[in-house]
Amino acid sequence: MVGHDIRNPLQTIVSATYLLKEEISNLTENESKKSMKDSIETIDEQAQYTARILTNLVGNAVQAMPNGGKLTIAACRENGKAVLTVEDTGVGMPEEVKSQIFQPLFTTKSKG
């Protein structure tokens, strides 16, 4: 359910950036158009990236709570930056893997 609630707004962002790309394509080439295209591309890429990261975090949290539990996702602004926290009441992880969890492609699963 949480993944669904996150993907819906992100899909709106992706759709809006698609429409903006279409509108901008009709503009005359100039420095402003290039800047707008670059910004829209960045928004689109980051929205799609967020949808995957968040989806993975939600999936991992659910797997860590085989008998149910609580998953909390919160967002706030600190010092002008967005801060996203994901917390679950799952079984936890061994101390020896905690330092590796943010390394790309790291997993403790036999498949994944």
DSSP string covering the chain: -HHHHHHHHHHHHHHHHHHHHHHHHTSPPSHHHHHHHHHHHHHHHHHHHHHHHHHHHHHHHHHT-TT---EEEEEEEETTEEEEEEEE-S----HHHHTTTTSTT--SSS--
Kindly provide the b/e burial profile for residues 36-51, where b requires at least 16 CB atoms within 10 angstroms of the residue's own CB.
bbeebeeebeebeebb
- 109 inside domain: no
- pLDDT of 6 reads 67
Our count of domains for the chain comes to 1
- 34 inside domain: yes
- 9 inside domain: yes
- Provide the residue range defining the domain that includes 88: 2-98
- 48 inside domain: yes
Q: For residues 111 and 93, give the distance between their C-alpha atoms in angstroms, rounded to a whole number.
A: 17
Structure tokens at 77: 């602004």
- Confirm whether pTM is higher than 0.85: no
- 29 inside domain: yes
**71-90 pLDDT tens trace:** 998 888 899 888 888 899 99
- 45 inside domain: yes
**8-49 pLDDT tens trace:** 777 888 888 889 989 998 888 888 888 888 998 888 888 887
- 106 inside domain: no
- 54 inside domain: yes
